A and B are shown apart, each in its own frame.
Chain A
């Protein structure tokens, strides 16, 4: 495949068109098309019937007159049998997959969408079906099906259904609580309509993919049974042909080759088609980059003079690779300074690059990000270009971090205390016992009422506010010189936010640490910060002392932001319509 795609496909390229560009899909589809078309046209392609035996042609070799691929042990034309076997395969695949689709998708939609009771019932039923040993059951039921492969495939379809049921049920459970389904309910749509309009569209892709694989496995199972000699011997099928070829392997090896080749090609094509469908419908996702090798840097910063502020960012530029191969700059020429013990608020709206700047300082930008220029100096030491090993000695010790979502930054399967102890021991050379003592003291310091109980709790057992206190405790454990807080109170209730801000302020003055606070909330900045830097579209538009900027914003953007704050002055004064019409 070509790697240098011209102009990235924007937004809407229909799935089938993406599929048509995928050589794997095209090849697989072509093979299947040829095999099944020939099967359909069998009477036109060959003059022989599949079971028509000609004693003079027993084990005729390839290229015999009238038998281009030879004939088998009973003198039946191999080409004719192959083509008719393709028909059998097509019918098997359609019956098996059709039944599985009809049962699995319907039950999945019903079981996922409706209440618990319906779900338990369908769940139980399909779990039961899944416990049946598939192929064995098909053989045992032969007397019932009378050896008709179509009846067998019908049963096989039922056995395949649980797989689809599970896929569909899980997807439906996921989509059922989406707000747009709620909105449809509020709009008065009936269940059938919601399922058709909103749920089926989500289910469609994965079901198509699963169906492609099921087509292949239906054919394989039918052939397998025929190979074992189960079922009617009258029906031409790849399996029966392989079986017969097997018996004559030493007399006429080619007899074995043709049906094996046809069966292999068919099932392999279905698998490849399924894979291609998956890529087209669900996307392959970006290639993961190797992590741990440190930040990708385009231009190494020049050596500057040593001492300066605690943190000094100069001309920082960060870019991400765009789909068309070029680099898209998200942060450009950002410079900021944080002095010892100072609190800097980095403010901006979503997409302004404030978090990218903070992450660059921590050296934790996503692997595909590239620092295209500038320098970040911490205590005079250049951070840009350091490898992960060197950076990790700084992180957690000299530079600490508190995230926006406290819960997702705690591992749910370990106790809170154990996670903190691990962090403390990574940063400081202390024994496990000493670390535990420190952690307990810290938990008490950050205002947790029962530190011991919190220490022994799992993350899901504590509240969001408490989780943030825990992370703050972990962050300040090593008495860092710089704390980077990324929207530390955004996910919290206002009363909890006020408490966390109090805690941060107290700790900051107690430890004399500098704080780089990333936030969109001017109230939080007013509460905590000494200085402020306002970002917009990847650049800093204004920075200065908090009081000055709030009193007299110089940049129109800052002014606009401050004006759009809904503070005390903005109270609604007009009266409701009903009252007005009375007076």
Chain B
């Protein structure tokens, strides 16, 4: 049995304007994440990848379909029932600048999930120290405010917060997209390292195939609210079956002028050949 099972998930947002019909942004998506596994969700803007993550976190209510965590249905839970789940399902958001409350000290931010779970202040404090250590920040960081840290360090703080309750699944919503290249690699390494140590599973949302490839065991490709294909990372990101995935793959430029020129040609051929029979 998988840790997370999403079946035929549909999500609709209220339409704009008075009495407007709701707009469906996910048209029945099914996926699963095993214990300790990383499932990469890749797609472009409007593909619904972030919405899947938010539905799993209970931040948006699905129109239909089911989301099961550890065999338990999580849709339609009350806030109180959801709190039990909070220990096991955590999140790291894209923007490390707005995902940390600017007026709280880092220590308070990190102890928040612990105190919700009923930890005592002294327990929380020592746990905060070990969390900071786990993500490679000095213990003194607890006393400081988020604005005193760089983007990469803030993302480490956000990761530490997600780890606070020893979750079994972390939804990572574009966690490295706002970071510089050199920082990106370090944060991804940290995430992999944490996974090896704790056996946490990731639902990893990103628009960047290279990032997805680096962190995922399996990859799911989304396009405009539909699932395009799912498969082992190496397969999907190097020899995709679906034309859209192939287009996506060829579209991201590589840092090698000759190779990039070849890719460009391949992409041009692909676009020309698919002009007649518009796929998806």
Contacts and interface: CB of A to CB of B under 8 A. Distances in A.
B57 A526 contact: no
A149 B147 CA distance: 48
A350 B180 CA distance: 7
Interface string B219-248: 000000000000001100110000000011
Interface string A340-375: 000000000110000000000000000000000000
Contacts of B199: 577
A277 B34 CA distance: 54
Nearest to B82: A188
B35 A577 contact: yes
Nearest to B192: A572
A185 B61 CA distance: 14
B38 A11 contact: no
Contacts of A577: 35-37, 195-196, 199
A576 interface: yes
Given A180-B100, A520-B180, A520-B181, A572 B216 contact: yes
A520 B179 CA distance: 11
A179 B86 CA distance: 16
A579 to B, nearest CB: 7
Contacts of B259: 526
Contact of A526 (B113, B215, B253): B253
B181 A349 contact: yes
A184 interface: yes
B260 A564 contact: no
Contacts of A179: 93-95, 98-99
Contact of B188 (A497, A550, A566, A568): A566
Given A495-B248, A498-B253, A578 B37 contact: yes
B182 interface: yes
A520 B237 CA distance: 23
Which of B100, B101, B103 has the largest count of A CB atoms less than 10 A from its CB?
B101
B182 A560 contact: yes
A550 B255 contact: yes
A192 to B, nearest CB: 11
B87 interface: yes
Contacts of A12: 145
Interface string B189-208: 00010011001010000011
Contact of A349 (B180, B233, B248): B180
Interface size class of B (residues with CB under 8 A): 35 or more
Contacts of B93: 179, 182-183
Contact of B264 (A191, A349, A527, A562): A527
B267 interface: yes
A576 B112 contact: no
Interface string A519-551: 011111111000000000000000000110010
Chain A interface main SS type: helix
B32 to A, nearest CB: 12
Given A550-B255, A572-B213, A198 B207 contact: no
Contact of B99 (A183, A201, A464, A497): A183
B214 interface: yes
A187 B112 contact: yes
Contacts of B248: 494-495
Nearest to A562: B255
B59 interface: yes
A546 B257 contact: yes
Contacts of B104: 197, 201
A561 interface: yes
A567 interface: yes
Interface in A162-207: 178-180, 182-191, 193, 197-198, 201-202
Nearest to B185: A564
A350 B183 CA distance: 11
* Contact-size category for A: 35 or more
Contact of B181 (A495, A525, A561): A561
Given A494-B44, A578-B35, A567 B182 contact: no
B90 interface: yes
A193 B116 CA distance: 10
A493 B36 contact: no
B68 interface: no
- Residue of A186, A201, A547, A560 with most partner-chain B CB within 10 A: A186
A550 B253 CA distance: 14
Contact of B207 (A184, A493, A550, A572): A493
Interface string B79-113: 10011011101110111001111011000010011
B184 interface: yes
A501 interface: yes
Contacts of B264: 498, 502, 527
Contacts of A495: 44, 247-248, 251
Contact of B237 (A198, A565, A571, A573): A571
Nearest to B83: A188
A496 B147 CA distance: 34
Contact of B34 (A178, A191, A198, A579): A579
Interface of B: 34-38, 44-45, 57-59, 79, 82-83, 85-87, 89-91, 93-95, 98-101, 103-104, 109, 112-113, 116-117, 145, 147-148, 151, 158, 161, 165, 180-182, 184-185, 188, 192, 195-196, 199, 201, 207-211, 213-217, 233-234, 237-238, 247-248, 250-260, 264, 267
Given A494-B209, A567-B210, 6 more contacts: A182-B93, A187-B113, A202-B103, A497-B253, A525-B255, A526-B259
27 contacts: A178-B99, A179-B93, A180-B100, A183-B158, A185-B59, A187-B90, A187-B161, A188-B82, A188-B113, A190-B79, A197-B104, A201-B103, A349-B181, A494-B208, A502-B264, A526-B259, A527-B264, A561-B182, A562-B255, A565-B181, A566-B188, A566-B214, A568-B254, A577-B36, A578-B34, A578-B36, A579-B34
Interface of A: 11-12, 178-180, 182-191, 193, 197-198, 201-202, 349-350, 464, 493-498, 501-502, 520-527, 546-547, 550, 560-562, 564-568, 570-579
The 6 A-B residue pairs whose C-beta atoms are closest, nearest first, are A577-B36, A523-B253, A188-B86, A576-B37, A522-B255, A179-B99
